[in-house]
Each structure stands twice: as structure tokens, then as C-alpha cells.
Structure 1
Amino acid sequence: MVEFNYGSELPLKDELLRSVEPSVCPVNVAIAVAGIVGSNDVTRTVRKDLEVLADSVRSHDIVEVMDAFKTEGFPSDPSLLSEIDRNRIDVALRQKSGNPITLAMILAGVASQIDLDCVGINFPQHFLVRIDRKLIDPLHMRIVTPAEMRAWAKRKGIDRTPLFSRATNRDIALRMLNNVRLALGGRDRHVDALRVLDYKALLADDSPEVLVEKSEVWLDLGDSGMAKELLEQALELIESPSFKDMVRKRIHLLRGSKVELN
């Protein structure tokens, strides 16, 4: 079982905040998240593994880069890893598998060592990277086209735009932390999920969304009083009328009032 490294309150706060600086390589985000998940300080191990992997690539041709990753065994079957481990870059490097955003961070780490520009793409329900102006699907380690991904989004019923927005380090951190939080909730590890949301709150200043997420976890823990208190705090910060109305209804339901949903 993965053990969370919480020895003190948010011990990796500084590492996480440094990793989201715009000038920092996004692989540092994945290293910070792996530490939060409980791998202690994985920086040295991850950097060494990335260096070894980069030495096996050493090409500026993106087709050759993808071929090199496949020669090294990427990607292996992600079902062999738990949902939590798929978010750990140290495990992903060792097992040559992970979820799309974790594999994308491996690509970013290798690209930085061989002087290739790598940009994360905040594709909904997936994650892509752009290396040397080519779009890459990290989950399958292959070059894809925008048209191909638009068709994929259509099949998934995704109508959100833009589809290909550039992901900041902060975007990446929030997505990775959200993945971890959902994986923990799926295993009924709600206390650990709350701590992950504490880290998420560091990156989402005064975010009512995080407060609402915390209220949901407290409900899973059976504490409706704390859930209601968090929703009331969120209500003071919400600007969207529809979001505010939804939270009000949740508060009323927790108070035992009947609410007409429309």
C-alpha cells in the first residue's frame, strides 16, 4: 500500500510551489506530486532514470524519439499499476507505464535533456504534448494529428473548446493532484484525499471549487456538519449565479430541508 509522506503539515509545500513557476521544467511538478503520494524525495532517482532514458534517445528527430521510447519498452500495460501509482513518475519510469499526464512529464524530462522544446497540451479527458511542432499522445507514445484528436473528442462527446490549449505548470499540478485525489476516493482513503486537497488549495487561491470538493470528502467520511460548513465558506466566494444556486441547494439538503430542483 502507498503510504503518504505527511510527517508534518504539507511538508512538500515549498517543492510544489517551486515546481509551478513558469520558468521551471514541468517534470518538477511530477516529482513533487510523487513526493506527495508518499515516495519521499524521489528527485535523485527520477533525474537519474531520465538521464539514462535520454542517453538511449539522443535524437532530434521526433519519429526516432518515439521509436527509442518503444525500444525501451514504453508504453507497457497501464492496468498493471494501481490508479494511484499511475500518477507517480518514479513508478512510471520503472514500470514504463502510467496515465497520460505522467507519461507526458517523462517526455518533457527527456526532451529538456536533449534540447527539444516540449509543451504540455491541456486536452480534455486526456493529455498531450507537442514536441518539435508534432502532437504526441503519451499514453500510446505515438504522433497524432489535430484532426485525429478532434475525432476522438467527438466520439467521447466532448464539445469543449479550445481542445489544444497550452498547459501551464500550475495546470499540470492541479490535474495531477486531482487524479490522485480521485484515485484515493476510489479506495475510500478519504483522509489522504483531504490532504491532497490541502495541496491543491495552495495552487488555487480562494477557490470555492476546492472547498466544495472538500465538503464532498467530508460527506464520504460521514461528517455532514463539516461538509455544510465548507459549503457555507464556498458560498461567500462564488461569483457564478448557477454555481451559487447549486451550493445553496446542497446546504439546504444537508440541513434536511426540501428543495425543488429544476
Structure 2
Amino acid sequence: MDNSWLQLNLVEDEEIPLFRTALLIAQDEYPQLAAAEYEARIDGYFRQLRTELSPALLPAAQLQHLNRFLFEEVGFAGNEVDYYDPRNSYLNDVLDRRIGNPISLAVVQLELAQRLDIPLQGVSFPGHFLVRLPVDDGLIVLDPYQKGRSLDETELRSRAQGYFDAAREIDDHHLARMLEPASHRAILTRMLRNLKAVYSEREDLARAVRCSDRLLSVDPHQHEEYRDRGLLYLRLEHIGAAREDLRRYLKLEPTAADADAIRLQLAEISSVPARLN
């Protein structure tokens, strides 16, 4: 495994370079990817924006200019044709094709905002990943998938409601919690989980396992990933690796809701011939 991956769980969240690590995810799929070329492209966008933006502008006005540049001049957009195309999660593809999913587009937006000292933050909202800008009288919340469109409180409640029981009211406190800023570690985790879900749905189990590996590199405290990876290994008939991961999951989460089911699974594979290891 690349040393950069090994080091991720050793550093504080604010030390994780979001854009560069997102390129690292893409490098798994594209081993010959020249990360420096994509960093140079972002740097070119930054230099152009820096010459156009007046430091006297308020952050909200600067963000409006950034969005106009990204989504109108350069032409970044959400992939409306194939939302679940894995290329939507690989940053090199997003930069080359100028289409992506909400979180990959947000990573581009966040990287430029950071370089421009615009205090933009990611939001791990249900459904679409969003971004937020704190302002004096509250928050501006935007959807990168819809070209940085601003979302009001009514629409945010409506979007959130679709992911909860209809009888459950989304009160102010609950909405505020859903709009809390996402850490770099949380953003990378969501990117990898999106990819894992896509590959699992496509029965591309080897790539799904790779996503689980990377999730554990980003945050080894995601204990459910040992379970998920173990079950993926089982489907790939890597029995020894499956046993190891499932046992580790039970050791870390002995009272989990699915612990008995996992114990039963382990009992069933204990007699599988060693030749399948």
C-alpha cells in the first residue's frame, strides 16, 4: 500500500489534504495518473480567479464569482445521464470531463475556495453532498450538483424529510445538526462509500474490497468496514481473509446488532476446505 495511505490515519483531520487525497483515490483506478498535472490545472483556475476577485468583496460575493467561473465559464456540471458512473467519483475524470457527482464537484469547489480564503465548508447532508458558507446572519447552503444553486430552509427540510419517516418532523435542532461542517476525513469516507456502493451493485467485488481497504486507511475506527470487507472476501472465496476480518469485527463490536448473524456466518465457513483460502 502506498505510504500516503498508511499515513492518513496518523494525522489530524486538518492536516489531510482533501484535493490531493481525492486524487489518491483516483490513482487506485488509474495507476499512471500524473497527480501534478491535475494540481497544476486547479492552480491555473486559482490564478485566473485571483486576478478577477477583489479582496474587498465579501465572501458571499466572492463565492458567487467562483461559482459563475466553475459552473458557467469552465462548464462543470452534475452528471444527469449516469449518476452512478464510477468516473463521477474519480477526480481526474471529473476534471477532464467536467462532470461529476455532488461530492466530487464539491471537492473542486472547496479546493478553490480554500486557496482564495473563502470560508466554504462541506456538508454531509442526506442525499446530495452540499457546501455551506457562514455569514453574519446565518448560513448560505449551496448544491454543487446543481451548479451551486442556493437552497432555502424549506427545500432543505423537504430534501431531508425524504430520508426519514414521514411522521418524524425535521425540527430546527435536527436540521442544524445535518448542516454541520464535514471534516476532510468524513468527506473522503463518503466518497469511498459511494464508490463501494457502486461497485458492490455492479458485482465488481475486487474494486469494492479496495474501497473498504481505503476506508480503513482513512479511518480504522470504522469497525463496520471490517465486517463489510470480510463479507466481500467471503463472496470472493478468500476464506482466510474473510475469517480474519469477521473475527476482528466481532472483537471490536461484540454487542453489535448483527453480531449473532456474523458468528453464525463464521461457524458456517469454519468447515470450508482450506483450498479456497
The TM-score range, normalised by the shorter chain, is 0.7 to 0.9
Cα displacement string for residues 148-199 of structure 1 (whole angstroms, at most 9, x for unaligned residues): 2221111343769531122111111211122222222233332232233222
1:144 aligns with 2:151: yes
Who is 1:27 aligned against? 19
**Match for residue 49 of structure 1 among 30, 41, 52:** 41
Identical pairs, percent:
20
1:202–1:81 Cα change, 3 Å: same
For residues 165 and 181 of structure 1, the distance between their equivalents in structure 2, rounded to whole angstroms, comes to 24
3-state SS of paired residue (2:100): coil
Looking at structure 1, the residues matched to 116 and 152 of structure 2 have their Cα atoms a distance apart, in angstroms, of 23
Q: 2:92 aligns with which of 90, 93, 96?
A: 90
Kindly state the Cα deviation for residue 205 of structure 1 after the two structures are TM-superposed.
Answer: 2.4
Which residue matches 1:113? 115
Across the aligned residues of Structure 1 and Structure 2, the Cα RMSD in angstroms comes to: 3.1
Normalising by structure 2, report the TM-score: 0.75
Work out the CA distance in 2 between the residues paired with 1:19 and 1:143: 34
Unmatched runs of 5 consecutive residues or more in structure 2? 54-58, 272-277
What SS is found at the alignment partner of 2:145?
A: coil
Structure-1 residue corresponding to 2:71: 70
Q: Which amino acid aligns with 2:162?
A: R
Q: How many residues align?
A: 248
One-letter identity of the residue aligned with 1:63: Q
User: Which contiguous aligned blocks of 4+ residues in structure 1 show a shift greater than 6 angstroms?
Assistant: none
Does the C-alpha gap of structure 1 residues 78 and 15 become closer, same or farther in structure 2, counting only changes over 3 Å? farther
CA deviation map 1:115-137 (0-9, x unaligned): 21121112123211113542111
Counterpart-to-counterpart distance in 2, 1:27 and 1:167: 15
Conservation of the 8 A alpha-carbon contact between 2:200 and 2:208: yes
Match of 2:226 among 211, 217, 220: 211
Question: What is the TM-score of this pair, normalised by structure 1?
Answer: 0.79
Larger Rg: 2
Residue of structure 2 equivalent to 1:230: 245
1:15 & 1:208 partners in 2: Cα distance? 19
